[in-house]
Amino acid sequence: AGTEKINTDIITLTRWLTEEQRKHKEATGDFTLLCHALQFSFKSIAYYIRRASLINLSGLAGSSNTTGDDQKKLDVIGNDLFVAAMKSSGMVRVLVSEEVEEAIVFEENPNSRYAVVCDPIDGSSNLDAGVSVGTIFGVFLLAEGSKGSKEDLLHPGTELVAAGFTMYGASAQLVMTMRGGTVNGFTMDNALGEFILTHPNMDMPKKRSIYSTNEGNSKYWAEPVKEWCESMKQAEKPYSARYIGSMVADAYRTLLYGGIFAYPADKKSPKGKLRILYECAPMAMVFENAGGQAVNSHMRRMMEVVPEHIHDRSGIFMGSYDEVQKVIDIHKKHG
């Protein structure tokens, strides 16, 4: 066989960001610098995640967060790594993290215009089992003269300028998108210490018979949700069930293979479980820009849902366009 063609024109995330910036004449370069800080936070979180069991970083921190989750040691470490990277970037005015009750305003960065929302470690209940977890992030541009108060953050996903996630799986996979842009996937090459563009312009399948939801909650589900789930199980060719219990891992599979991910609001959690600002909205933006769709439990476009407070929750159905449409149509039938 001929010599395998070696790719010598490697597109690292750093190069990709430079090329993106060049497309915007008026760009100041601030967003690029912010993305370099985001990139470093993913690299450093990945490093500690992969060593957790070796350096006694698994298990509980002995504390809980605002939304009542027991915090794992890695939840706290991941949060601290992320906060340090955002603060030292000089680009972030205010940061919302799942692990911190109040919005963190960086007085050191009085003139920076970006607000960042993040879930430092998503799926942390799975950490000790070695299951893939991830970091979810979203970036807002603050209005002129904003002081970065938490009210400045109660915006719908349509106002996100960028969003994405990094899944710490067999390799670290970064998926990110900009408002009105495409979805691009980067794979960490540990030897180079660089994220490499491996999945340009991700376009998800319009349909796929895979559903991903915690059916252990089904006794609490509303009737239309029960009907939706049953319709897939009774289909001519029944759907496959795939549920990892880490939103980032379930989302990454759904993005690549197609299908639908759902965490419905139900009688037990009337507002749903997943948090709007740093789980539902960033994921919705990725799925919409990849050709899919995302709605809440009232079948409203997830990107238009405005959180009432920074840790506000919502039900969510997201995935292949036609698969989410099925949920919407069943809810319409129920009126």
Contact residues for ligand AHG, defined by CB under 6 A: 69, 98, 119, 122-125, 214, 245-247, 263, 273
Q: Is 98 in the site for Mn ion (CB under 5 A)?
A: yes
Please check whether residue 195 is in contact with residue 188, taking contact to mean a CB–CB distance below 8 angstroms.
yes
Q: Do 212 and 252 contact (CB within 8 A), yes or no? A: no
Q: How far apart are CA 2 and CA 95, in angstroms?
A: 52
Q: Identify what 311 binds: ligand AHG, Mn ion, none; CB under 5 to 8 Å per kind.
A: none
Is residue 69 a contact residue for Mn ion (CB under 5 A)?
yes
Please, are residues 126 and 114 in contact by the beta-carbon 8 Å criterion? no
Look at the alpha carbons of 208, 257, 227, 274 in this order and tell me if their dihedral is positive or negative.
Answer: negative
Work out which of 41, 86, 104, 122 binds Mn ion, going by CB under 5 A.
122
Candidates 152, 192, 167; CA nearest to 255 is 167
In whole angstroms, the minimum distance from the beta carbon of 266 to Mn ion comes to 18
> How far apart are CB 212 and ligand AHG at their closest, in Å?
9
- To the nearest whole angstrom, how small is the minimum distance from the Cβ of residue 98 to Mn ion? 5
Half-sphere CA count of 64, side-chain side, radius 13 A: 5
Query: What distance in Å separates the CA atoms of residue 49 and residue 203, rounded to the nearest whole number?
Result: 29
In the structure encoding, which two tokens stand for residue 101, read together? 């009750």
| Angstrom distance (rounded) from CA 292 to CA 205 | 8
323 binds, among Mn ion, ligand AHG, none (CB under 5 to 8 A by kind): none
Cβ proximity to ligand AHG, 179 vs 226, nearer residue: 226
Residue 126: CB minimum distance to ligand AHG, A: 8
Q: Which does 238 bind (CB under 5 to 8 A by kind): Mn ion, ligand AHG, none?
A: none
Q: Which does 28 bind (CB under 5 to 8 A by kind): ligand AHG, Mn ion, none?
A: none
Q: Which does 288 bind (CB under 5 to 8 A by kind): Mn ion, ligand AHG, none?
A: none
